Structure 1
């Protein structure tokens, strides 16, 4: 089940930290700090899936090159205790594919750049935990806004106080909404919630669901930290891991007791294999609808509260109002990427339909128009985002090919045939393995170049323009409803002929 995690931190010279070092480590790059003269080489670190830079449209070209971006960002800070970078660390749902997670990371980074006008480097990391679920991205941002002339004023609204809290709240909400939108687009029923457990518990209590409210008021587990996490990866126990197991067991006992009091029987959980994983869903068949047991926190309530069990009743269909909200959100995503497209007419039509649903209710004409409009908006969004994904895939393929080529050249130069490091069979095996990886990366790069060529992108652009034109030419729902009302009004006002009785016939 997808979980929500977002953390914001800063890097300060007062603590001996460097933006160049942070960027090199997170991106698996070789970067040089021009101030200290130190080189930070993390090209051999594993777990870095993809790294890309984003900046406002009017930013200089060097803002998209990590080696130049962070060198200039460090040089822009004069004080010895300056804050040199800010990081947004967030989890990516493991239910999504690598491409879908890259798309989600790009959308979140783009929203941050659009709001704060700074430059960022986003580095997607694969799970480093035994369960293989900890996909996440580090969005490293400059502390200054960037424009045509380079770095300018500081982003003081993020520094702290009441303003900082409100901005962090916006970031958390934006990440949750964007992630849920991408989960829905992938056809997944899971969602995440950025609110604290206390807020979710109050919401459940307001709905009258005491069991879920009690489950959400459980005792939280403790953060393991680097040392305890490293021990867990080696299969060794730690004091914090044991405490978390005790807390999780106590939470489960409390849930079982409340379930019995509420008349709901819960089966015992399966034995735990690690400190981060609870039993499977099959081991708790009698939990309340929407209740799942999984993750580091123990008990989690999926955002499907009130959903009936599978096999009992069909799920309620999404309302037209919800479809309109999603379509307007899709239009926002389209506008972020293609601000040149004219979508005012379709946006006005969706807003009119939303107001009409609130005023006059659902009609056949509105429902038919919305069904067609929502599908066309989603198709346009997929086409627009697909172009960006092709460019991201091309950059990723180029980077992976470069790494494979470097590994191939390094092996041939450092370990020539006959060197004493490896036996001949081992040397052949290692050399063939690197050659196989290089050949695979070469094929992937050729495919990505074909999909990201000027001709292929021109076809995508033409398809985007065509879909946008079809949307704008779509008849407005406001033009349909008045016609029906006018026809009904004319029929009501029309005077029907009256039948005159015939006189009796005389014989």
Structure 2
């Protein structure tokens, strides 16, 4: 699913940073710094998909050439501690193709140039992570406005304080709205939200959607940073990876409960989709939703007046699932149970659901039919979650064993290649590197022990017993065909029969 990520930082000469070096590295270019005489050559760098420059219409032609733009930008700064460039790093949806991501990056860069009148170099990078989803763009911007005469005044409104916070908020809103417009234009029913999880949970709670508020109250994962990502590429996951894994496991267990709760409420009230990743599906972007002063930019940076100017669609109450749809979902759950546990017999309830589906196709529903389906659907969903929980434990155990093996190999390799007294490192550096590997090994050993406890024969036996018990309760239900006279002779109803509902965990507004 599409994610929202926006990070803003600055490059300071006082910290030994250079706008020329930053532009060369992000664009995979060969650029010369005329102030220092140094050449920065990153032409062999992989992962750079595309690099282009944007500037206001009245800017000089050299503002579109990275080799001249950043040399002049460096020369415009006199102070030895001057801020020489500002970077805005954005994630790009992996659901779009390369061309669509390039159009989106162009539209966002053009909106920034229109608002702040600075020059921008946009460098689109391909994912550097194993999952292949981390498409992103680096927007390297000058810290001064540029006009016909070259660089002028500084963009002080972005420096910080109250003004800086409001500008950052505008940028985040603009990025989210522009991205959603491009996702919708591409025909994708996904969107992103620039608000924090706490803000989204409060909004859901205010509108009475407690189920979604509970889902959004999940604990956010921690940003890894370049150091942790570099360790991951070498096969050595650090502390942050372990913490994020624990957070994701806890969130997944909570979402299983919410999934059961949604199944219960779906039979008696409007179906509610609790967002697992902060993504709102099927959301239309209207002009009333845009940030103040924002114009959505579409393909090739052109405006989309028919998209940005149309009236906001009215969103009515969510339509509840029909009884036939609930039966279809239960049959799909039974198929997943059969794939996970071929030894579990669910033919009786499967035949019952298929019989109900055929009856509903020929006639309307009755209170008795709805009550039987309600009990069957809830029990089928509970059986599915129990059966898949066993497979999840085994997968977690396999991953923990693999990571522990990698950490053990790294520990043994270091001790073999760099024994005590080795001259490759100084004594403090050798001690630091050895302790770091020992710490990772101890951490992996602890994770493996926990995974083995959860995946032990005794623990799995408890899970298997629970699966068998739930399957037996499900198969013990009277077949609807046996109760045909009671189910079909009852009067038809238009209203749903309420079911006892669990109380969801209240949202934690962090």
TM tier, shorter chain? 0.5 to 0.7
**CA deviation string 1:464-497 (max 9, x = no partner):** xxxxxxxxxxxxxxxxxxxxxxxxxxxxxxxxxx
* Equivalent of 2:281 in 304, 308, 311: 304
CA contact (8 A) 1:92 1:101 kept: yes
CA contact (8 A) 2:201 2:214 kept: yes
2:4 aligned partner: 4
Whole-Å separation in 2 of the counterparts to 1:12 and 1:324: 39
Alignment CA distance shift 1:252-1:325 (3 Å):
closer
Alignment CA distance shift 1:244-1:333 (3 Å):
closer
2:148 aligned partner: 148
Give the Å deviation of 1:255.
Answer: 3.3
1:473 aligned partner: none
Give the Å deviation of 1:207.
Answer: 2.1
When normalised by structure 2's length, the TM-score is: 0.55
**CA deviation string 1:207-243 (max 9, x = no partner):** 2222221221222222222222122223333221111
Q: Which has the higher contact order (CA 8 A, sep 6+)?
A: 2
Whole-Å separation in 2 of the counterparts to 1:101 and 1:113: 18
Whole-Å separation in 1 of the counterparts to 2:299 and 2:131: 38
Say whether residues 1:101 and 2:101 are aligned partners: yes
Give the Å deviation of 1:260.
Answer: 4.9
Whole-Å separation in 1 of the counterparts to 2:215 and 2:137: 29
Say whether residues 1:214 and 2:214 are aligned partners: yes
2:470 aligned partner: none
Alignment CA distance shift 1:42-1:264 (3 Å):
farther
When normalised by structure 1's length, the TM-score is: 0.56
Say whether residues 1:79 and 2:56 are aligned partners: no
**CA deviation string 1:334-393 (max 9, x = no partner):** 899679x9x9xx99xx98x969x99xxxxxxxxxxxxxxxxxxxxxxxxxxxxxxxxxxx
Whole-Å separation in 2 of the counterparts to 1:49 and 1:228: 23
Whole-Å separation in 2 of the counterparts to 1:66 and 1:99: 22
Whole-Å separation in 2 of the counterparts to 1:23 and 1:224: 23
Whole-Å separation in 2 of the counterparts to 1:324 and 1:250: 37
**CA deviation string 1:382-411 (max 9, x = no partner):** xxxxxxxxxxxxxxxxxxxxxxxxxxxxxx
Residue 300 of structure 1 aligns to a residue in which SS? coil
Whole-Å separation in 2 of the counterparts to 1:169 and 1:146: 23
**CA deviation string 1:399-427 (max 9, x = no partner):** xxxxxxxxxxxxxxxxxxxxxxxxxxxxx
CA contact (8 A) 1:290 1:304 kept: no
How many residues align structurally?
308
CA contact (8 A) 1:290 1:303 kept: no
**CA deviation string 1:18-71 (max 9, x = no partner):** 000000000000001111111100000000000000000110111010000000
Whole-Å separation in 2 of the counterparts to 1:234 and 1:37: 35
CA contact (8 A) 1:124 1:136 kept: yes
Alignment CA distance shift 1:334-1:101 (3 Å):
closer
Gaps in structure 1 of 5+ consecutive residues? 267-287, 293-298, 308-317, 359-507
CA contact (8 A) 2:54 2:109 kept: yes
CA contact (8 A) 1:13 1:82 kept: yes
Alignment CA distance shift 1:290-1:260 (3 Å):
closer
Whole-Å separation in 2 of the counterparts to 1:228 and 1:100: 30
Whole-Å separation in 2 of the counterparts to 1:224 and 1:338: 35
Whole-Å separation in 2 of the counterparts to 1:180 and 1:90: 14
Give the Å deviation of 1:147.
Answer: 0.4
1:113 aligned partner: 113
Whole-Å separation in 1 of the counterparts to 2:180 and 2:279: 12
Residues 68-467 of structure 1 correspond to what in structure 2 (within 5 A)? Answer: 68-257=68-257, 260=260, 264=264, 289-291=272-274, 299-304=276-281, 322=286, 333=297
Residue 277 of structure 2 aligns to a residue in which SS? strand
Gaps in structure 2 of 5+ consecutive residues? 315-510
1:20 aligned partner: 20
Give the Å deviation of 1:290.
Answer: 3.8
